[in-house]
Structure 1
Amino acid sequence: MIKTTDLCDEKPQQARVLAPLFMDLGGRADFQGPAVTVKCFEDNSRIKELSGQAGEGRVLVIDGGGSERCALFGDHIAEDLVCNGWAGVLVYGYVRDKAVLRGLPMAIKALGVTPAKSVKRNEGQVGLDVTFAGQTIASGDLLYGDDDGVVVLDAPRA
Structure 2
Amino acid sequence: MRDAFAELSTPLVADACVRLDVPLRVAPPGIAAVVPGQRLAGRVLPARHYGSVDVFLEALGNAGPGDVLVVDNGGRVDEACVGDLMVLEAVAAGLAGLVIWGLHRDTPELVEIGLPVFSYGSYPPGPVRLAEAERSALVSARFGTHLVDASDIVFADGDGVLFVPVDRSDEVLATADRIRRTERDQADRIRAGQTLREQTGFADYLARRAEDPAYSFRRHLRRIGGAIEE
> TM > 0.5 between the two?
yes
1:131 corresponds in structure 2 to 142
For the structure 1 residues 133 and 38, does the alpha-carbon distance in structure 2 shift closer, same or farther, using more than 3 Å as the test?
same
CA root-mean-square deviation: 2.5
Which structure's residues are more often helix, by fraction? 2
Consecutive unaligned residues of structure 1, counting only runs of 5 or more, are none
* Pairwise CA distance, 1:73: 1.8
Tell me, in whole angstroms, the C-alpha distance in 2 between the residues paired with 1:94 and 1:18.
Answer: 14
Q: Paired residue for 1:93, among 82, 89, 102?
A: 102
* Pairwise CA distance, 1:37: 0.8
Percent identity between the aligned chains? Answer: 25
Larger deviation, residues 103-112 vs 91-100: 103-112
Given the two structures, how large is their TM-score scaled by the length of structure 2? 0.60
Consecutive unaligned residues of structure 2, counting only runs of 5 or more, are 169-230
1:8 and 2:14 correspond: yes
For the structure 1 residues 137 and 120, does the alpha-carbon distance in structure 2 shift closer, same or farther, using more than 3 Å as the test?
same
Matching residue's letter, 1:11: C
Equivalence map 1:75-86=2 (5 Å): 75-86=84-95
Which structure's residues are more often strand, by fraction? 1
Equivalence map 1:41-52=2 (5 Å): 41-51=50-60
Matching residue's letter, 1:115: P
For the structure 1 residues 119 and 140, does the alpha-carbon distance in structure 2 shift closer, same or farther, using more than 3 Å as the test?
farther
* Pairwise CA distance, 1:154: 1.5
Q: Paired residue for 1:29, among 22, 35, 38?
A: 38
1:115 and 2:124 correspond: yes
User: What is the aligned residue count?
Assistant: 156
For the structure 1 residues 53 and 81, does the alpha-carbon distance in structure 2 shift closer, same or farther, using more than 3 Å as the test?
farther
Tell me, in whole angstroms, the C-alpha distance in 2 between the residues paired with 1:69 and 1:48.
Answer: 22
